[in-house]
Structures are given as structure tokens and as C-alpha cells.
Structure 1
Amino acid sequence: MQEKQPSAIVSPCGIYCGACPRYRDTAVCRGCRCDGRHDKCDIYDCCVVMGGKNFCYECDCFPCERLESFTRYHPGKSFAHFRHIAIENLNRIRLIGPDMWAREMEKRTAAGDYSISGKNPDGDPDTSPCSCVSPEK
């Protein structure tokens, strides 16, 4: 079996798919760059399908209103939700490259510093790990 490049699980919007239990634990999702998993994601469609880019930061409009709206999920919460830092993540990816960033995120995830889970740190359910797999989308 051929091993994926670390960047294969880095989404165009700056989410590290490797932290998601749907990717890591259950294999329900193989990452948003996998064929067929992005069909409901407006950000993926805008960036990759229509824009021909690999990451949102490559666009002249970065950061656009669509991406900024995405990062405002759970406004006012005291914790750093994984969406809150998507633009910061994209700037880091631009600086060091997606493979190195994915390796950093793997370490952060293992250390508990980054997580995508069914519950937020305040106990509220998080029903939308990403729009690709969200039943509401």
C-alpha cells in the first residue's frame, strides 16, 4: 500500500484532516482532497474547482468573506475552535509548505493541542467537523 504524502490530508481551507475522528478512527472520510468528499463544500468548490488553486491563500481575494465566515463558527467562545484558526493555518502553510505543516499538525494533534471532535472543549456538541461530511449541508 502506498503511503499518502502528508499534504494529502491538508484541506484547501487550512483544516488538518488528520485530526478528525472520521478520518483517523473510522475511515468514513479519507480527507477532503479524496474524490467525491468535497461535493458539498463551497470553499473547496471555490478554491479548487472554480479557482484552480490548491489552497485558499493562493487566491488574490484571500482571505475572502466565505473563508472569514467559515472561521467565525462559534463566535465568542473562549476556546480556539479548529475553524477559528483556519486563516492562521493557511498563512503558516504558505510560509513552510503543506508537508511540513502537516507534520507539525500531526504532532500538535498527538499532544492534544489541535482537535476535531464530536464535542467542543466547553461540552457543546460539534455537529459539523467540516462541510464535506456535515449532514446539515
Structure 2
Amino acid sequence: MEKKQAPLHALVLDADPALSRRVAHSLSEKDYMVVTASSKEEALNMLKAQSIQLAVLGNPTKDGSCFDLLKDFVKTSPLTSLILISDAPGKEIHEKAEGFGILGHVSRSYSPEEIQKLLEKFERINQLL
């Protein structure tokens, strides 16, 4: 008898509600249980309160950056996998996110294929755990 996999929980944080909805929709289509947060504090409280396997982090405020979140997210929930939403050049993302173990990043105008690749990578890793 095949063991049924428990649903994966994902958190989406971005200051742009339309982008948050789009990301949440992409995740929901893959049967993730999705919660969205409108602030860094709300997101960190969610991480403390429940088991969240994946966080998709964009800009926490209109003038903030996903890089501002990394340390607090990893410190609060080191086993939560991270995908960043950023239009920064790949080299800059690599430099600023080095050591935080992110799965990867997508641009703010990402295509469904881009996020699909990262979700497949996450799911392969998650199956090993």
C-alpha cells in the first residue's frame, strides 16, 4: 500500500498583493496549502506557529528587499526551503543569498515554467527527507 504524502505548506510574502495572489495560485495548482503574509512580522509568526516547508519571498515592503528577510527566516525556521522573487541580476542574488541555502529565484514577472522548475527541485529534495 502506497503511503499518501501529507500536503506541503507554503508561505508567500510580497508587498504587491497581485504578485502574492499569482504566486499563491501557482502553488495551489500544485496542491500546496498556501498562506500569504502582508508583513515580515506576520510571516515570521506563521513560521513559528505551523510547519511550513516552502517560503516564497519577495519584497516585504514597497522599498524593502527579499534579502532583508533571509537571516530572520533561516533563523526562525532553518528547515523551510526558500525561493526568492527578485529582479536583481543573478550574480547579485548569488552574492547576497550565499550561505542561506535558497532553492533559487524567479523574476517578479516570472513565467509558469520558471516557478515550475523550482517547485520540481523542491519536491525532489522534499521526497528525500
**Does the TM-score normalized on the shorter chain lie above 0.5?**
no
Query: So what's the TM-score if we normalise by structure 2?
Result: 0.35
More helix by share: 2
